[in-house]
Chain A
């Protein structure tokens, strides 16, 4: 079945620097790739998503890129701020039940 691998498991960056989190998926039929942010003890929140007919999508300081040939997609956060500290989850989806297959998560730490 579909599998999503996410790296790194922990990422520590200096405030103001950029952060990149990468995910690879196994099923080439996957066509939807969301990213969720989860702050400690709170719900996962959808922050950005991309569909397979698009290579890149931006929303202010965050962007997602998709490489269908290599079957990987990445989350880019520029000018990181303390409030970016959280766990980030990637996921992939296809098919009629719209089930999401989740990565294991990346803990992003922003150092002041």
Chain B
């Protein structure tokens, strides 16, 4: 167990809908990263937050947004869902300053039908 939690574990929804994925980082970690992993694919970096502020952006679609709250948990919002958005979404956390090690949560499997 990495100490990073993600909810829900599974999500099934229809095209056009909007969902929110939640992540709680390890105790003491200030940075949160979101990744998308489609079937049998690599890890696509979406976005990073550090202590409530956006730090880096990757290949995140305009239909997707995220935020990190004062208690350091983070939410990834996916809207106008398409079939191609079906994937595993991972959250990872790290201490932030002075540390590169990222620890992953168990992921949320999103299925868009």
Contact = CB atoms under 8 A, between A and B. Distances in A.
Interface string B61-105: 000000000000000000000000000001000101001111111
Interface in A44-89: 44-46, 49, 89
Interface residues of A, number: 19
A4 B70 CA distance: 34
Which size class do B's interface residues fall under?
A: 20 to 34
A46 B42 contact: no
Interface string A17-36: 00000000000000010101
B42 A99 contact: no
Interface of A: 32, 34, 36, 42-46, 49, 89, 93, 97-100, 102-105
16 contacts: A42-B106, A43-B104, A44-B104, A45-B2, A46-B101, A89-B42, A97-B48, A98-B99, A99-B48, A99-B55, A99-B58, A100-B33, A100-B45, A100-B102, A102-B42, A102-B45
